[in-house]
Amino acid sequence: MSILSNRLKVCLVGAGQWGWQHARVFSRRKDVHLAAVAGRNSERTLARAQEFNIQAYTDVQDMLDREHPDLVSLSLPNLDHFQATMQVIEAGYPLFVEKPLVFNLNEADRLLSEARKRGLFFAINFNHRYAKAVRLARQAIDEARLGELTHAIWRFGGEANISSHPHANLIETQCHGFDQLEHLCGPIKSVMAEMTDKTGGGYRTVTVALRFLNGAVGSLIGTYDSSYAYPDTHFLEVNGTKGMIRVDDTVQRFSFQSAGNETSQLWKAGYFDDLNRSFHHTLDLHVDALIEALRTGKEPPIHASAGRRALVLAWAAIDSFQTGKRVDCSNE
């Protein structure tokens, strides 16, 4: 099938937990034919294929050669993104990848360069942007309801995702924070960081001081030394000269309060609003925009280059921690 046909043919790479969410979203769309999944574990991949009534493969190239999809959606273990992503790019297929893009900047540059040579549609899933609370935050800033931005706060953390990489939390999870803060507040000019490895397993808790290009400042705290069961697992606040916005737990609540006003305006999902209440459904909303862009020949709603930018900021924070100095990020 082609992009110009009524249904897009989509193939998946990855049969893990979040890969199931990709399968769920694409399988339920009337404008998509979910055709196949490729995974490293044959038993788990076959089970996923049977659940969604699609073909199972244990070799990515074999799947591509046989299926010729219109879009490949990849959701793999965080440290294993590069090889399969490059394989899809070299085969010349449009692709949608999970964050982080990769852990290594040279690998990120290679992926983006090869995709650019082929003119490929190359999207990344920073799905936090599609939470209604975050969209309301962006709208309030775009409407200048906050006035001049002055400072922002991001905090996000829960249980450890076990990884062999010492900076896993910063790169694979706080990439959402870097992306979200720049999405709302503009480019980050410089960073200064502190980190601790006191619980073992790498630098599981980090704090980063930020200076934005527009003169505002901010802070990011990310941790694997916490619990997703705690209240305010995720907290976002942006302040300006005219007002303040706050987002609680990404999808739970948005509020706006103008300076000097003791009454705030609040949004939270209504009783029947399951879509906007669910974190997982932020992926559905992102895929809505993704499919529309792919069909109409537009750039992805969130290009994979945003993954590289988050990685640049993470490695700048690592550099700052190791040297004890402020690190400039404005030229990257």
User: Does the structure show a pLDDT above 80 at 102?
Assistant: yes
Alpha-carbon distance 212 to 186, whole Å? 7
Q: Mean per-residue pLDDT for 310-316?
A: 98
Residues 177 and 220: beta-carbon distance below 8 Å: yes
Hey, what are 35's tokens? 């055709």
Residues 312 and 331: beta-carbon distance below 8 Å: no
pLDDT for the residue 1: 46
Q: Is beta strand 122-125 parallel, antiparallel or unpaired with respect to 95-98? A: parallel
pLDDT for the residue 331: 79
pLDDT for the residue 113: 98
Question: What pairs with residue 218 in β-bridges?
Answer: 152, 210
1-10, 33-42, 133-142: the lowest-pLDDT one: 1-10
Q: Give the closest residue to 191 by CA, choosing from 160, 165, 170.
A: 170
pLDDT for the residue 332: 72
Percent of the chain at pLDDT exceeding 90: 96
Q: Mean per-residue pLDDT for 81-100?
A: 98
Higher pLDDT, 208 or 162: 208
Alpha-carbon distance 188 to 215, whole Å? 9
Confidence of residue 161 (pLDDT cuts 50, 70, 90): confident
- The beta strand positions in 108-214, using DSSP E, are 122-125, 149-157, 188-196, 205-212
Alpha-carbon distance 248 to 258, whole Å? 18
User: Does the structure show a pLDDT above 70 at 84?
Assistant: yes
Q: Mean per-residue pLDDT for 43-60?
A: 97
User: Does the structure show a pLDDT above 60 at 3?
Assistant: no
Q: Mean per-residue pLDDT for 138-166?
A: 96
Average pLDDT of the residues of the chain: 96
Q: Phi and psi of 53, rounded to 5°?
A: 55, 50
Which strands make up the sheet holding 253-258, listed edge to edge? 265-267, 253-258, 243-248, 234-240, 149-157, 217-223, 205-212, 188-196, 327-328
Confidence of residue 330 (pLDDT cuts 50, 70, 90): confident
User: Does the structure show a pLDDT above 70 at 9?
Assistant: yes
Confidence of residue 265 (pLDDT cuts 50, 70, 90): very high
User: Does the structure show a pLDDT above 70 at 2?
Assistant: no
Q: Give the closest residue to 252 by CA, choosing from 227, 271, 277.
A: 277
Residues 222 and 161: beta-carbon distance below 8 Å: no
Alpha-carbon distance 263 to 74, whole Å? 45
Q: Give the closest residue to 232 by CA, choosing from 251, 244, 219, 249.
A: 249
pLDDT in tens, 200-219: 999 999 999 999 999 999 99
Q: Phi and psi of 36, rounded to 5°?
A: -160, 165
Domains and CATH numbers, the chain: 8-120 (3.40.50.720), 128-281+311-328 (3.30.360.10)
pLDDT for the residue 5: 58
